[in-house]
């Protein structure tokens, strides 16, 4: 049974940036994207600070975010990486299966990756993520390097949007046509 403790807060910086971006997209009428909470059952609670210090996951999560952009269903997961190598063990099989099923239903799936040491955020289209995933499953590298990413998918904040993934989503849609 998987458990959660303070390590579960990893990724909160990126999620905060995405949450604020999602609020701005909603205010502008561009997208409705919601954070999907992971259901947990608390085991230990620090009563003085009213914080959960140990819990277990009730079920496997799907992805971090799901919603619609101008009528297009989207789902994505947010991942942080402190080095130039992203370990594929940070993506779970049930997440890949969910993203694949989502794509088969006409939705768009992707990852948003934050390389903290470089302070760079990337949009990783589903097919590229799947390439890395399948390569590992076929006995290849169990990770991918920063250098394997296309710099054209790097997200640069602008126009008041901290994580402007809609620009990359548009590019992703155009290449699929």
Mean pLDDT of 21-41: 89
Q: Is 62 annotated as a binding residue?
A: yes
Domain that holds residue 94: 14-36+62-176
In a domain, 1, yes or no: no
Cross-strand pairs, 80: 114
In a domain, 3, yes or no: no
- Please give the share of the chain, as a percent, with pLDDT higher than 90: 73
Q: Name the domain count of the chain.
A: 1
Looking at residue 58, its pLDDT comes to 57
> Between 22 and 44, whose confidence is greater?
22
In a domain, 7, yes or no: no
Per-residue pLDDT band at 61 (split at 50, 70, 90):
low
In a domain, 50, yes or no: no
In a domain, 149, yes or no: yes
Q: Is 77 annotated as a binding residue?
A: yes
Rounded to whole angstroms, the Cα distance separating 4 from 6 reads 7
Mean pLDDT of 155-170: 92
In a domain, 47, yes or no: no
Q: Is 134 annotated as a binding residue?
A: no
In a domain, 133, yes or no: yes
Token readout for 79 is 């991942």
What is the three-class DSSP state of 20?
Answer: helix
Mean pLDDT of 24-52: 83
Model confidence, pTM: 0.83
């Amino acid at each position: 049974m998987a458990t959660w403790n303070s390590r579960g807060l990893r990724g909160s910086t990126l999620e905060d940036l995405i949450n604020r971006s999602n609020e701005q997209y909603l205010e502008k009428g561009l997208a409705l994207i919601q954070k999907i909470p992971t259901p947990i059952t608390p085991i230990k609670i620090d009563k003085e600070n009213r914080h959960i210090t140990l819990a277990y996951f009730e079920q496997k999560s799907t992805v971090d975010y799901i919603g619609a952009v101008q009528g297009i269903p989207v789902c994505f997961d947010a991942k942080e990486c402190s080095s130039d190598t992203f370990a594929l063990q940070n993506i779970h099989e049930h997440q890949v299966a969910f993203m694949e099923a989502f794509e088969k239903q006409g939705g768009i799936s992707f990852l948003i990756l934050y390389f903290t040491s470089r302070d760079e955020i990337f949009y990783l289209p589903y097919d590229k993520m799947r390439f890395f995933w399948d390569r590992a499953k076929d006995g290849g590298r169990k990770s991918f390097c920063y250098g394997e990413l296309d710099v054209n998918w790097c997200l640069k904040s602008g126009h008041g949007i901290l994580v402007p993934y809609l620009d990359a989503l548009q590019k992703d849609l155009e290449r699929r046509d």
